[in-house]
Amino acid sequence: MATQMGSEEEFKTTIAEYLEALPTQFCQRVFSSPAACLAIFRLLPTVGKQLIMSMLYLDAPLQLQDVSQWAKPEHQRMVKAKVHQLRKLQLLAEDAGSVWLNPIFREQLRNALTGGGDFSSFGIPYTGPRDARIDPKRLAKYADERWEAVLHFMVGRSAHDAATPLSESVRDVLRMSRLMEDGPMGMQITNSGFQFLLQNSASQVWTVLLQYLRLAELQNMDVVEVLNFLFQLVSLQLGRAYSVEALTRNQRKMLGELRDFGLIFQDERDERAFYATHLITSLTSASTQSTERSTGPSELTTSSEHGYIILETNCRIYAYTNSPLQIAILNLFVHLVSRFSNLVTGAITRDGVRQALMHGITADQIITFLTANAHPQMQNRTPVLPVTVTDQIRLWEQERNRLHPTQAHFYREFGQRQYFERVYRYALDIGVVLWANAEKQQLVVTRQGHAKIADLFKSQRPTNNAANPQPPA
């Protein structure tokens, strides 16, 4: 038995975590779609993709020991950890030391790669007449305007909100994701919302989609249908029209709600077709920065393609922008001094950084934001940002965050030395050890690893009750 350490609320922050929590029968239904299998495959890390491809056309199980031999000795533990992650996603199965691909996932991924099976899961192209003016440039402008309206609303730009009002479904998602909450003066941004603003657009979109899945559950919608449709949208071709005729009632409802975020475009004069914008088609791309923006000097393109921030070693900052959104984001951690027609000046101060930390923003998020939006002249330097400034930001964070709570499980009093060593080796193999003391037979593992350790206890529990590990007093 173990004691849980920490009090983190259950909250799915990645699509992988969401898939891991799905029941087996739900996962099998998700894997029945070639588009979903391909999207999941593209979201896997490089090592995970290599393992999948190596097993894709092998019908017989493989010994886990043989799979480990595919890597050099110093990397075999990492391979075992990746196998464990694929098992949690139910892409791999393991029994008696053998591993094999989920048969349904294997079949449908083969179909996705070779063009077999039900290819309608990738959308049915629209064959009717279409407006030639709807091209990637127009789609990019539309998506940027819609997405910026959401960000403007979050930072409190009421004038922009009046010009582009947000639908109630968008507000519900912002509440559900705890990015905003109702206050005495209307909806107000939360600490999670401040962190959200400093993320890149791909991470922001994934956050919104995950919360949309939670909202769909509360509305008693078929979660598998919603998830498969999202994977279908991710796999669509940018700039191509797709028909709505084959969509279900729930899927048509989703089109309208995702359209409010700028993920989907529909011509008001002909709603028989829809288009996926770059905000959603680039989510599974290897490099989202190269595909997120193709045209248009919008507020977001300015920050991602044409960096506008110059940072000096004395913490002085110069931002070549007139965008109210970009200025509002900078104001989260920069003390602004003056503003001109196309330039804002300020400084990164201890008080400004501490205020950002109080809102839940981390030093790494500040540094990542500054790096991603650095002026082209700074991008040519290595490192991009002055080391003195980045070190100072981290020091200010350490002043406030001297302890970092991590949710974990603590094991002790194993009784038998060999029992402790068996559990300890297993925890090392799957990469879940946070701390261990071999002399005192004490072990701390991550929250995610606790379930696997518990399964090991059930299968290998000694007959002697005194050997059962006990929680601390």
pLDDT at 260 over 80: yes
pLDDT value, residue 164? 61
Confidence of residue 449 (pLDDT cuts 50, 70, 90): confident
Q: Which residues pair with 86 in a beta bridge?
A: none
pLDDT value, residue 2? 45
pLDDT value, residue 64? 85
- b or e along 138-151 (b: 16 or more beta carbons within 10 Å of the residue's beta carbon)? bbbbbbbbbbbbbb
pLDDT at 345 over 80: yes
Strands 335-339 and 264-267 turn out to be unpaired
Tens-digit pLDDT profile for residues 274-327 = 999 999 998 887 544 333 333 333 444 444 446 899 999 999 999 999 888 889
State which H helix or E strand residue 131 sits in: none
Written as six digits, the tokens of 122 are 């990738």
pLDDT value, residue 458? 73
Q: Which residues pair with 412 in a beta bridge?
A: 470
Other Cβ atoms within 10 Å of 190 Cβ, number: 20
When mean pLDDT is compared across 241-245, 246-250, 397-401, the lowest value belongs to 397-401
- b or e along 202-235 (b: 16 or more beta carbons within 10 Å of the residue's beta carbon)? bbbbbbbbbbbbbbbeeeebebbbbbbbbbbbbb
Confidence of residue 228 (pLDDT cuts 50, 70, 90): very high
pLDDT at 32 over 50: yes
C-alpha span between 260 and 253 (Å, rounded): 12
Chain mean pLDDT for the chain = 83
Cβ neighbors of 66 (< 8 A, separation 6 or more) are none
Confidence of residue 465 (pLDDT cuts 50, 70, 90): very low
Give the residue, 137 or 306, on which the prediction is more confident.
Answer: 137
pLDDT value, residue 156? 75
pLDDT value, residue 271? 82
Confidence of residue 141 (pLDDT cuts 50, 70, 90): very high
- Asked if 204 contacts 212 with a C-beta cutoff of 8 angstroms, the reply is no
State which H helix or E strand residue 147 sits in: helix 136-154
Give the residue, 295 or 176, on which the prediction is more confident.
Answer: 176
pLDDT value, residue 31? 93
pLDDT value, residue 469? 55
pLDDT at 70 over 60: yes
Q: What is the DSSP string of 410-422?
A: EEB--SSHHHHHH
Confidence of residue 163 (pLDDT cuts 50, 70, 90): low
pLDDT value, residue 276? 93
C-alpha span between 95 and 434 (Å, rounded): 27
- Asked if 62 contacts 100 with a C-beta cutoff of 8 angstroms, the reply is yes
When mean pLDDT is compared across 112-121, 247-256, 376-385, 400-409, the lowest value belongs to 400-409
Give the residue, 299 or 239, on which the prediction is more confident.
Answer: 239
Confidence of residue 473 (pLDDT cuts 50, 70, 90): very low
Written as six digits, the tokens of 9 are 């609320």
SS3 95: strand
Report the share of the chain in percent with pLDDT over 70: 87
